Amino acid sequence: MRKKIVAGNWKMNKSLDEGLALASEVVNIVNDELTNDAIAVLCTPFVHLSAVSKIVAGSDKVFLGAQNMSEHASGAYTGDISADMLNSVGASYVILGHSERREYHNESNAQLASRVDVALEKGLTPIFCCGESLEIREAGTHVEFVSNQLKESLFHLDAASFSKVVIAYEPIWAIGTGVTATSAQAQDMHKALRDVLAAQYGQEVADGTTILYGGSAKPANAPELFAQPDVDGGLIGGASLKARDFVDIIKSY
């Protein structure tokens, strides 16, 4: 079902104490101030999940997510984390295919397809990231490139399974650079992706899909981005590390 979601991707930031303080502050401000029907997802480093889970437990507005996950169930995969482990610490979302994982860890569309399957099997909601480099944007092939990421990692799913996936469009040139896509660029791409989804799964499924925007989103530009008809929310990096900024983004629908 299409939802308003603002997910904070903490990336490799915050000690445990700092993370707990940030999560507590987010929950407190959300409880005091959030009146719209958006939800927040805190995607913390793995080692913080268990403790942050206790802070968000009981909230119907703030949920817990991981930043990655193995496609394997268990076994000799040193350093990896399984879906069962994420479930056991209370995570309900998992970011898959973030551009930093694709770039620094060579994650492929095929591997991500397996991870999406495992996440869905285990009841986790994948936040599937897609997005093009500046080079591809300048060549004008961005819609084709991102459509292909969806096709290769998601289109093996049947409509019922696909409906459980959240998509995050994150142009790589806008991540952590301070350069945000304009609201028109975001809307154009989100609309194009929704059309691709409609061709594959039908208009009803496409209209029900949550598509988030990510890339230098902040309180100053979130209202305009979220006002676009095909932008359902955000995946927020830098601005999710300050509780006030993060909640102001959630409030900006």
Selected from 236, 243, 247, 249, the binder of ligand PGA by CB under 6 A is 236
| Catalytic annotation, pick one of 98, 100, 107, 190 | 98
Region binding ligand PGA by CB under 6 A among candidate stretches 112-120, 150-158, 223-231, 232-240: 232-240
Task: Report whether 99 contacts 129 (CB < 8 A).
Answer: yes
Region binding ligand PGA by CB under 6 A among candidate stretches 69-77, 134-142, 189-197, 213-221: 213-221
- Comparing CB distances to ligand PGA, the nearer of 134 and 198 is 134
Sign of CA dihedral 64, 154, 236, 40: negative
With binding defined as CB under 6 A, does residue 127 bind ligand PGA? Answer: no
Catalytic status, residue 170: yes
Selected from 71, 107, 132, 170, the binder of ligand PGA by CB under 6 A is 170
Which among 231, 187, 243 is positioned nearest to 5, based on CA atoms? 231
CA distance 7 to 210: 12
With binding defined as CB under 6 A, does residue 176 bind ligand PGA? Answer: yes
Buried/exposed 138-151: b ≥16 CB within 10 Å, e otherwise: eeeebbeebbebbe
Catalytic status, residue 142: no
With binding defined as CB under 6 A, does residue 9 bind ligand PGA? Answer: yes
3-state secondary structure at position 5? strand
CA distance 253 to 250: 7
**Which positions touch ligand PGA (CB under 6 A)?**
9, 170, 175-176, 214-217, 235-239
